[in-house]
Amino acid sequence: MLRRRSGRTVLLVHTVFLKQSTLTTTTNVMSTQAVAFDWLPQEVMENIAFFAATTTDLGPPSDLLPLLLSCRSIYRALSFDANLHLCARIFEYKFDLSAAVRRLGQQIATPDVLSKELRKRFVCLKRIRARTDSKIRAPDPMSNPPVISELLWLAYLMMLENDGNNVKQLREYAGMEQWLMEYWFDDEGTSLASKTLSGDEWPLDNEHNSLAMWLFWLFLRPDRFQRTERNYRTFATVFKPTALAANKYNICHAPWEDFVPRSCLLEPTCINHYSNSYQLTPPTMAIPAILTYLSLVGPLLGPTRVVYKGPHTPNSFPSCLNQSLEWDADWQRCMNLAENPLASQLSGAYKVGSLQGVWEGVFTYTEFTTYAALLSGRSPSILHNCMVAQHRQTWKLREYHLTVSRGADGVADGEKSPSLSSGDPLKAFFPSGIRIHEHVGGAEVHEPGKMVPLPYRQPSACDEEVEGFKCPEIQDIIVVGEGHSAWGQFNVIGRVRPCDGFVSLLKEYVEGDRGLWLYRGYLVGSINGSLAGRWRDTLSLPGANGYEGCFVMSRRR
C-alpha cells in the first residue's frame, strides 16, 4: 500500500511482510527517502529493520547497514547501541538460545546480554571465516593463545547448545570444517600436530587441541571422506597415536581409579559466556580421538577389511526440535569437573537410563610387543605402522538405580540411607564378594558384611517420573548385562561415577581362559550417543600402565 505525505511517496508497514527481493527494494527506497520515514512509529521501523537484518539466515545482519546509514534519526532509533531489543530479536533469529536458558537461567536472555553476545559471535565467526588462526602465521601479533582459546570455546559451546541454527552459522558461514582441517593437518597448522609428528614427537595434549578434537568429532561427516589408503594414512597420523597411546593421553581428568575423587587433575578455565564468567574444565582429547579414529579409519583396520560403519556421529542423529538435549550431560560434566571439591552425588553429568538397551561396536588391540615397547618409552613412530586388530561385539545392558528413601510427604528421611561401598577400581568399583540377583523391574545387591540387600530399581519401575537429567533422588547407578564377541560369551557389570558420569564396566568371559577386562569411558551424547573409551587388563595395578586398547559402542538402531 502507498500513501502520499508532504508531496512524497513513501512505502508503509506491510512491506515488512513481503518477500526478500521486495524487502531489499524497500530498504533501498527507505535509504534514499529516509527523511520521509521520521513519522513512522518506532515499532514499525524496528520491524522493517528486523526483516532487513534477517533477509539471509547466515552471517551478520549486513543488509541492515544501508538503512542505518540513511540518516541520523534512523540511526539513533535503530543502531545496536540504541535499540538492544532489535539486537536481541536478531540474535534469537540467527542463533539457538533455548539450551543456554535451560542450563544457565532466564537472566541470560535479556536484550543487553543478547546484544553483546551477538556482536561477540560475529566478530569470532568472521575471524574463523578468514582462517586467521588455523595456521601459524608469523609475524601476526593478533594470532595469540587468548584469541584462539576464545574462538574454540565459543564454537564448542555453540555446538553443545545447537538446535539447528548454531551449526549452520559455524559450518556454512564461518567454514569451521575447513578451519579444523587446516588446524590439524596443514604443515603449518596451529595444533602443531604435523610438526611434532614429523619430528617423531607426540601431539600436544593441551586445552586448544582438546577443544579442536571435540569440534572435529562434532562436525564429522564420514561420508564426505573417501575411504582410501592415502586418506587412512593422513587421518591415522594424527588420530591413531592419540587414540591408542593410553600412557600419554588420559581418558578422564579426575583419577580413573577413584570412585569419589576429591579434585580434578586439570585447573579449570574461566570463560565469558553470555556476559557472565563460568569456570569450566574442557573434556580430554582422547575420547573424541577414539571416536574419530574408529569412524574414519576403523573400516580399514586389519588385513580382512572388516565392514564396520563406525559409531553414530552427531551429524547422523535424528533431527528434532531440541537437539541440544543430547549434550546436557556433556555440558554439566564441564561444570562439575571445575568444582573443588568434586561432587559426591549424581548431579547431571550422566542422564539416567542412558545405558539401558542393546549396544553394538568394536574393540581394538595392538600386538603385545608393540604396546610393551610403547610403555617402555618408544616414540609415536612405533604406532604408525603397527597392526591394529578389531573385533565386533554386542552388549545387552540393564540399568538399575538405588534411590534415597523418602517419607510420605516426599521429603528425604532424616536417617542416612544405606549405600553400596566403593570397591576395587579393577572390578568396576564393586566390593569383593558382591552378589547381584535380578528380578522383574529391579535387582538386589548383596554386599558382604551387610545384613540387608540393597534394592535397586530400573528407571521404568520408579514410582515417580524422573524429570530432565537432574536426579538428586538417585544415589547410585549400576549396570548389569551380557554380550558376545568373536572371543565368546561374556557377562558385564558396572557402575557410573557420580561427579562426571565416568562409566566403568567389568567384562568376564563365560568359558575358556579369556579372563577379565575393564572397560572405562564416557557416554558422548545421550539417547543417540556412543559409549567410548579404553579397555585394560585387570592384572596390572590401578596406578600402573596396563595393556590397553580402545572401544566404541553405539545403541542399536
* Residue pair 487/500 in contact by the 8 Å Cβ criterion: no
* pLDDT, mean of residues 377-392: 90
pLDDT above 50 (res 544): yes
Q: What mean pLDDT value characterizes the chain?
A: 84
Assign 3-class secondary structure to 89-127: HHHHHHCCCHHHHHHHCHHHHCHHHHHHHHHHHHHHHHH
Query: Which pLDDT does position 180 carry in this prediction?
Result: 96
Q: Pick the residue with more confidence: 170 or 77?
A: 170
**CA gyration radius, the chain:** 27
How would residue 67 be classed by pLDDT, with cut points 50, 70 and 90? low
Name 226's Cβ contacts closer than 8 Å, sequence gap at least 6: none
Closest to 361 in 3D by CA, of 554, 89, 106: 554
Q: Pick the residue with more confidence: 1 or 229?
A: 229
Query: Which pLDDT does position 31 carry in this prediction?
Result: 44
* pLDDT, mean of residues 67-83: 64
pLDDT above 50 (res 404): yes
Percent of the chain with pLDDT over 90: 63
Cell 510420605 sits on residue: 408
Q: How far is residue 323's CA from residue 543's CA, in Å, rounded to a whole number?
A: 39
* Residue pair 190/183 in contact by the 8 Å Cβ criterion: yes
Phi, psi at 334, each rounded to 5°: -60, -35
pLDDT above 50 (res 95): yes
Core vs surface per residue 382-393: b (16+ CB within 10 A) or e: bbeebebbbbeb
Query: Which pLDDT does position 27 carry in this prediction?
Result: 46
Closest to 209 in 3D by CA, of 150, 152, 290: 152
* pLDDT, mean of residues 161-167: 96
How would residue 472 be classed by pLDDT, with cut points 50, 70 and 90? very low
How would residue 376 be classed by pLDDT, with cut points 50, 70 and 90? very high
* pLDDT, mean of residues 433-452: 94
C-alpha cell at 38: 521520521
Which has the minimum average pLDDT: 41-55, 100-114, 115-129, 376-390?
A: 41-55
* pLDDT, mean of residues 229-254: 88
Query: Which pLDDT does position 462 carry in this prediction?
Result: 45
Query: Which pLDDT does position 229 carry in this prediction?
Result: 65
* Residue pair 506/383 in contact by the 8 Å Cβ criterion: no
Read off the pLDDT of residues 200-216 as tens digits, 9 standing for 90 and up. 999 999 999 999 999 99
How would residue 9 be classed by pLDDT, with cut points 50, 70 and 90? very low
Read off the pLDDT of residues 288-310 as tens digits, 9 standing for 90 and up. 999 999 988 765 554 444 456 77
* Residue pair 554/366 in contact by the 8 Å Cβ criterion: no
